[in-house]
Amino acid sequence: MLRILILLGGLLLCCTEARAQSADVPRLNVTPLLCIVDKRAPTCDITFLVQWQSDTVGYYCLFNDFSEAPVRCWTERDSGELNDPREVSETFSYWITDEDTAKRLVAVAIDVLRLDSGDRRRQRRNRHVWDLL
Amino acid sequence: MRALAILTCMLLSPGALANPGSTPTAIAEAASSRWRFAIALGYGLRSNPLIQSDDIPIIVDLDIAWFGDRFFFDNGDVGLTLSDNRMFTLDFVTRVNSERVFFGRTDTQFVSFAADGSTLATPVLLEVPDRDFAVEAGIELLTDGDWGELQLTAFRDVSATHGGYELFVDYAYRWRHDRWVIKPSLGVSYHSRSLNDYYWGVTADEAAESAGALPQYRLQAGINAHARLAAQYIVSKHWSFAAALEYERMNDDAAQSPIVAQRSVRGYFAGMSYRF
């Protein structure tokens, strides 16, 4: 009986801790999330709208893969918004940190979809009766 | 057979093989997955030109392919890349001729009229003659540029099924606007007499078995023409909406065959596609 109570107590503590952690994690939204490239347009010129929001007022920084320095930092804020113009050809991420800039609190990946692989065989047309795409 | 022997020699000759390590294709491929796996769920139909036949519904369209440096598998086609450079890609390919699928969706019916319109003395049970799948081998040339994509193929039966060959050319051009991709294509295919006659002809035995409902019918070589329009809206890296329209006009001899009811083969499909 005592074992069960200890186990339940442990679970309760663990869940409370997890909930507290998730409440502290800022929410990060980036639009658009996809860049489409092909031979004629090998890069995307996009202005990304980056928005974040946290339940806790504090010091937050926005980073991306293009630079080791932050894109921007906010002091004593619980939300922020930024327009970030970029020329993109590879998948990359935005992420938010607090004072500990080595620790990513939340990250969002921007996918790059390549329509041309460079392998002509991938463009070959099949002529099977059951295949229409 | 001589063509096959020449092809075999080409394949066995080390000098004939491409050196993929030095080509732009190989460099690009090294960075990406060799597999291509996609599934599309939706609704489509391919019309069946045969008499007493059902159209072919298409609910699921699977795309399974693997592209190695030299060998590749592409939805049933197995290929060996002989040459790959900035100008073109040359492959040796074996495939299954899928026209047999039309013959797998036919009905048996009683008919009172012969193919020439005359009345039969008694109704006869008419069955569309059966045909086999043919394994074909041949050469495929792919080239592209700002002007579009061109595919030229020459395939010959290697399974002693129809004993004929097909020459095929297809031109495609792709437009993209934001997330929309539109790709129209058109082309022609030359069907040799043996190929045309095997699938769309009626042999003397088959005519006799039909008790007069089908006359004997032999075909010469002919040229089919085809056009296609494919559209895609890219929703995300994996999901897209895909639609395709296809039209193929059969050659004169095939269209006039007593087992053919429709001059053209039409197809369409629309659905959601997931690329893994």
Mind listing the pLDDT tens digit for each residue in B208-226? 888 878 999 999 999 999 9
Residues of B in contact with A132 (CB under 8 A): 44, 46, 58, 61, 244, 246, 267-269
Q: Quote the pLDDT of residue B2.
A: 41
Let me know if B244 is exposed, middle or buried by CB neighbors in 10 A (0-12, 13-18, 19+): buried
**Do residue B76 and residue A118 have CB atoms under 8 angstroms apart?**
no
> Rounded CA gap, A128 and B224, in Å?
15
Q: How far is CA A106 from the centre of its chain?
A: 7
The yes-or-no verdict on residue A18 having pLDDT over 80 is no
**Do residue B75 and residue A33 have CB atoms under 8 angstroms apart?**
no
Give B272's strand partners. Answer: B41, B241
Q: Quote the pLDDT of residue A3.
A: 55
Q: Quote the pLDDT of residue B209.
A: 87
Q: What's the rounded mean pLDDT across residues B159-165?
A: 97
Q: What's the rounded mean pLDDT across residues B55-77?
A: 94
Backbone Cα Rg of chain A? 22
Q: Quote the pLDDT of residue A23.
A: 53
- Report the gap between the CA of B99 and the closest CA in chain A (Å): 7
The yes-or-no verdict on residue A14 having pLDDT over 50 is no
Q: How far is CA B1 from the centre of its chain?
A: 23
* Average pLDDT across chain B, whole number: 87
Beta-carbon contacts of residue B16 (< 8 Å; ≥ 6 apart): B10, B82
- Report the gap between the CA of B214 and the closest CA in chain A (Å): 26
Residues of A in contact with B178 (CB under 8 A): 36
Helices and strands per DSSP (H, E), number in chain A = 1, 6
Beta-carbon contacts of residue B8 (< 8 Å; ≥ 6 apart): none
Q: Quote the pLDDT of residue B66.
A: 96
The yes-or-no verdict on residue B10 having pLDDT over 50 is no
Q: Quote the pLDDT of residue A53.
A: 97
> Rounded CA gap, B156 and B167, in Å?
9
Q: When comparing pLDDT for B228 and A13, which is higher?
A: B228
Mind listing the pLDDT tens digit for each residue in A32-59? 999 999 988 999 999 999 999 999 999 9
- Which of B22-26, B159-163, B237-241 is the least confident region? B22-26
For residue A59, which of A34, A96, A92, A33 has the smallest C-alpha distance?
Answer: A96
Could you count the other beta carbons within 10 Å of the beta carbon of residue B146?
A: 7
Q: Quote the pLDDT of residue B80.
A: 98
Q: Quote the pLDDT of residue A130.
A: 67
With contact defined as beta carbons under 8 Å apart, do B194 and B172 qualify? no
Tokens of B272: 């959601």
CA distances from B120 to A105, B114, B193 (A): 83, 6, 31
**Do residue B79 and residue A121 have CB atoms under 8 angstroms apart?**
yes
pTM reported for the whole predicted model: 0.80
Q: When comparing pLDDT for A1 and B100, which is higher?
A: B100
Residues of A in contact with B267 (CB under 8 A): 132
With contact defined as beta carbons under 8 Å apart, do B257 and B200 qualify? yes
Residue of A nearest to B59 (CA): A130
Interface probe, candidates B174, B240, B276, chain A, greatest A C-beta count within 10 A:
B174
With contact defined as beta carbons under 8 Å apart, do B272 and B40 qualify? yes
Mind listing the pLDDT tens digit for each residue in B108-151? 777 777 766 777 777 777 889 999 999 999 999 999 999 999 99
With contact defined as beta carbons under 8 Å apart, do B198 and B219 qualify? no
Residue A92: pLDDT band with limits 50, 70, 90: very high
Mind listing the pLDDT tens digit for each residue in B249-271? 999 999 999 999 999 999 999 99
Residue of B nearest to A44 (CA): B178
Residue of B nearest to A129 (CA): B98
Residue B26: pLDDT band with limits 50, 70, 90: very low
Tokens of A119: 């392998």
- Report the gap between the CA of A90 and the closest CA in chain B (Å): 12
* Average pLDDT across chain A, whole number: 85
**Do residue B76 and residue A128 have CB atoms under 8 angstroms apart?**
yes
**Do residue A36 and residue B176 have CB atoms under 8 angstroms apart?**
yes
Residue with the two structure tokens 């073109």 = B88
Residues of B in contact with A133 (CB under 8 A): 40, 61, 63, 230, 242, 244, 269, 273
